[in-house]
Structure formats: C-alpha cells, structure tokens
C-alpha cells in the first residue's frame, strides 16, 4: 500500500526583490566601503543564495470542530510514549488551525443508521468516519463517500519513516479508504502446550521447511483428535471455529473469493470456492476433527471454542487471545492446491477511514487529520506496542509481520442483501448436501444479489 500526503492548503505568496537604482544627483555615502585587495589565488564565484520561501500561513478555521468517528474511542489513551506524543500534537494542531478535534464514539448497532441518515440530510455526523468495507461498499455505490482523489494527492516519495497514513485497498472500483499503516493479520493459531504434550510437530518448523499445506493440517488435526482418558468420548480436538468463516478463510487461501466484487460476479461456483468448501466439509463431517461446543456447526460463538484449551488449531484474530491460559503459536492458514502465499485469509472485518460526501473542505480536514500523526516515531514498526502486548514469543510477531500481514483478501459478501453465503454453507456442513449441487442451487440468487447493488 502506498503512502499519501495532503493537498496544499494555501497559495504561497511570491517574493519580489525591489532594488533602487542610484541616479546622477543621488547623495554619495560619506565613507565609501574599502575595496578588497586582489587575491593572488584563482577566484571562484560564490553562487548567490536563493531566498527561502516562507511557509504558508495555516488556515484559520474559526473554531470549527473536526469530528472523527468510530464504534470505539479513537482518542489516544495517553498510556504509551506514542499516544502521549500524539495528544500533544493534537493540541498543537488545534492551536495552529484554530479548530477543535473531537472523537465521536457511536455504538456499533447504531453506527450505520447514523451515518446514512446524516449523509442523506447533507450534514454528515462526522468529518472522518471508520467504516467496515462491507458497509462502505453500498455507501460508495450510492455516492455517499468521497474518493481519495477529492481530498489528497498521492506522493510516492513520502518519507517512509513518517508512517502517517496509507491508502487502503480499492473498493467499488476506486480508492476511498485510508488509515494508519499496520502490521497485523489473521492467522491459524495453535495451542503450543497441547502440541508439546501430544508430541505434535511445531507448525512454524513445518512452515519453514515448506511442508505446511492442507494435507498436513488435516494429518495433524487427525493426530490431535483423541480420547485421552479412555472414557469413550473425544476430549482433545484438532480444529475449531465458525464454519462460515472457515469456508471463507480456506477459499481465500485457495486463491478464491466468495464473491468477486471487482468484476460483479458471484463466487460460490468458482472451483476454488468449491475446493475450499469440500476441505472444510471433510474436517467437520468426514474426519470429524472439529470441536463443536454449542452443538451448532454454523454458530458464530464457535469462534471462541478454542479458549477451552482442548483444541489444537483454530483461526482467530489476535485481539481474541487476551484471556487464554495457554501458550499459542501462529502460522499463515496454509495455501490450498490453487492458492499461494500472497493470499492466506479472508479479511471479513476489514475497515478504514473514509470522508463522507457533504463534508466541508475535505482537503483541509484530511490534512489536519494526517498532521496529527506527524510525530517522532516511538516504535520500530507500526503496531509494535500492540503486538508485543499480545504475543510473548518474538517468533510469532515475526511470523505475523513477515508472512501474514498484508495477505488478507477483503471479503464483502455481507454487503450484498440476500447473498446466500450462510445458506450455502449450512446446506453443506449441517445438512450434508453435495458441494457442487449446493453451489448450483444458490448461483442464481447470489448473482442477482450482486446485480441488484450494481443497479
């Protein structure tokens, strides 16, 4: 992703050097300057210094409030050196532009309604808004979000150490989102304690040797699934997760997408999707290596089942690990037969900052926001403090930064009303229907959902 720099805010005044020519009747100086003695060395002409251009005066916003909104508190907490530095910078920017920067925290369930109604009324509730991509797409299609080109220009030679803002992936056929550079991504985590106890091979070692693939994942999941106390019931499992997310993740790791939003095509019948759905179905219904705590394979609460400590492998975001009682490791979700290391997981919750249509002087708003991040770096890389607060092993942080971050496939099937992802997976995983036949069953509905938004 490329860095961005804001548009110039003001015209810089031109400087003129005014020299007065002496006429014949001009008064002579009483003491003329001494003439320097000629030098015996070869003289070199000293180049004249160009006068420096003065900095443009900052725009006076007359006390305007610049609002930044999300469904959490975006205001720096002030607990780290970087947060303290940014708070100081915000105060400096407020004085510089005669404005006030306000952080608006709106509950998630109320957020999109507030966004839509305020934009339609011509008075966006905030100047910069955090939006999930799946929510931003419909808004973009309705012309409710400004493209980046309307408030900033791209500068490829921006100082890489500045770490100000960066363009986020395109959506709806254009570039709209921006945010802080990041070093995080969703991986396949594994219970290191359980692996050691059961003599299972470390996944990072397998990855380093190029042996980490779908077949190896299935093999280890089968080895891990067992009845350890001989009571006739399985008490250690190879895998857990939300089946709907699992199909999306393995589709991405196989080079596919549940819906091809760039080309306006459904993705359920894509051979890459079909192959991923077959693999997940094998985990659940053929090899039976998945722990289903709730009894419902498609219950989203299964995302937390791994926290019981009796599951070997699971897909999870880093923020979900805060209350676990065992040591974890992480590797990329392994590539499928048609996949590559370029795409390893489905980024179903991707979000970024956007500027709504109707915001006054969006270029100035963006410039002010970006300047609040123009502080001396306090981390060796973006997100260092955060990652080190989650992971205790440097190997895991390195794995995320070097092999997982930036490999997410932004998945926005939820943006399309009536897109049948859930029904498709329910029929396969719960009702044991044929993958190919199920894809054909929902193909027309899926494409109609895509076409509807396009219109």
Local confidence band at 34 (pLDDT 50, 70, 90 cut-offs) = very low
Indicate the helix (H) or strand (E) that contains 132: strand 128-132
pLDDT in tens, 300-314: 999 999 999 999 999
C-alpha 142/C-alpha 452 separation (Å) is 12
pLDDT in tens, 363-406: 999 999 999 999 988 889 888 988 999 999 999 999 999 999 99
Nearest partner of 3 among 134, 172, 181, judged by Cα: 181
**pLDDT for 152 beyond 80:** yes
pLDDT in tens, 399-408: 999 999 999 9
pLDDT in tens, 5-31: 444 333 333 223 333 333 333 333 333
Mean pLDDT of the region 290-297:
96
- Give Cα 297 distance to the centre of its chain: 28
Local confidence band at 157 (pLDDT 50, 70, 90 cut-offs) = very low
Category of 288 on φ-ψ map: left (φ > 0), alpha (ψ -120 to 50) or beta: left
Cβ proximity of 86 and 74 under 8 Å: no
Distance from first CA to last CA of the chain, Å, rounded?
A: 30
Using DSSP's 3-state secondary structure scheme, residue 234 falls into coil
Provide the token pair at 267.
């993705």
pLDDT in tens, 271-292: 999 999 999 999 999 999 999 9
Provide the token pair at 368.
């002010």
C-alpha 314/C-alpha 319 separation (Å) is 14
Provide the token pair at 163.
């770490």
Mean pLDDT of the region 140-150:
95
User: Residue 261's pLDDT is what?
Assistant: 87
Report the DSSP pairing between strands 187-191 and 311-316: antiparallel
pLDDT in tens, 63-99: 999 999 999 999 999 988 889 999 999 999 999 999 9
Nearest partner of 318 among 182, 407, 189, 133, judged by Cα: 189
CB-based burial label for 30 (10 Å; 0-12, 13-18, 19+): exposed
**pLDDT for 241 beyond 80:** yes
Question: Residue 239: how many CB atoms within 10 A of its CB?
Answer: 28
- Whole-number percent of the chain with pLDDT over 70: 85
User: Residue 43's pLDDT is what?
Assistant: 34
Question: Residue 189: how many CB atoms within 10 A of its CB?
Answer: 24
* pTM of the full structure: 0.82
Only one residue has tokens 């897109």, namely 419
């Amino acid at each position: 992703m490329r860095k961005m720099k804001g548009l110039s805010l003001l015209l810089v005044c031109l400087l003129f050097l005014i020299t007065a020519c002496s006429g014949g009747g001009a008064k002579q100086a009483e003491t003329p300057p001494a003439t320097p003695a000629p030098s015996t060395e070869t003289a070199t002409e000293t180049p004249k210094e160009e006068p420096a251009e003065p900095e443009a005066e900052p725009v006076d916003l007359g006390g305007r409030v610049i609002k930044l909104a999300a469904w959490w508190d975006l205001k720096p907490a002030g607990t780290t050196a970087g947060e303290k530095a940014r708070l100081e910078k915000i105060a400096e920017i407020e004085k510089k532009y005669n404005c006030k920067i306000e952080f608006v925290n709106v509950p998630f369930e109320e957020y999109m309604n507030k966004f839509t109604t305020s934009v339609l009324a011509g008075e966006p509730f905030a100047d910069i808004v955090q939006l999930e991509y799946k929510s931003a797409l419909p808004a973009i299609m309705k012309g409710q979000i400004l493209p980046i080109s309307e408030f900033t220009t791209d500068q490829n030679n921006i100082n890489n150490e500045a770490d100000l803002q960066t363009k986020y992936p395109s959506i709806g056929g254009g570039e709209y989102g921006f945010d802080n550079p990041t070093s995080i991504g969703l991986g396949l985590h594994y219970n290191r304690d359980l692996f050691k106890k059961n003599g299972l091979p470390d996944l990072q070692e397998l990855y380093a040797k190029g042996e980490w693939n779908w077949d190896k994942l299935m093999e280890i999941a089968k080895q891990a699934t067992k009845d350890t106390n001989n009571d006739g019931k399985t008490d250690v499992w190879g895998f857990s997760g939300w089946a709907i997310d699992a199909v999306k993740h393995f589709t991405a790791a196989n080079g596919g997408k549940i819906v091809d939003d760039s080309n306006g095509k459904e993705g359920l019948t894509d051979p890459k999707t079909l192959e991923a759905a077959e693999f997940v179905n094998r985990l659940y219904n053929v090899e039976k290596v998945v722990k289903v705590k709730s009894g419902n394979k498609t219950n989203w609460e299964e995302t937390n089942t791994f926290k019981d400590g009796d599951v070997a492998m699971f897909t999870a975001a880093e923020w979900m690990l805060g209350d676990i009682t065992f040591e974890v490791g992480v590797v990329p979700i392994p590539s499928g037969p048609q996949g590559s290391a370029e795409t390893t997981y489905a980024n179903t919750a991707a979000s970024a900052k956007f500027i709504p249509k109707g915001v006054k002087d969006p270029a100035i708003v963006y410039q002010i926001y970006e300047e609040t991040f123009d502080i001396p770096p306090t981390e060796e890389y973006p997100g260092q403090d955060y990652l080190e607060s989650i992971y205790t092993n440097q190997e895991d942080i390195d794995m995320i930064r070097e092999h997982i971050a930036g490999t997410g496939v932004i998945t926005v099937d939820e943006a399309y009303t009536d897109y049948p992802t859930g029904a498709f997976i329910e029929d396969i995983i719960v009702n044991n229907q044929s993958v190919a036949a199920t894809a054909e069953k929902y193909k027309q509905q899926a494409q109609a959902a895509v076409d509807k938004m396009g219109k």
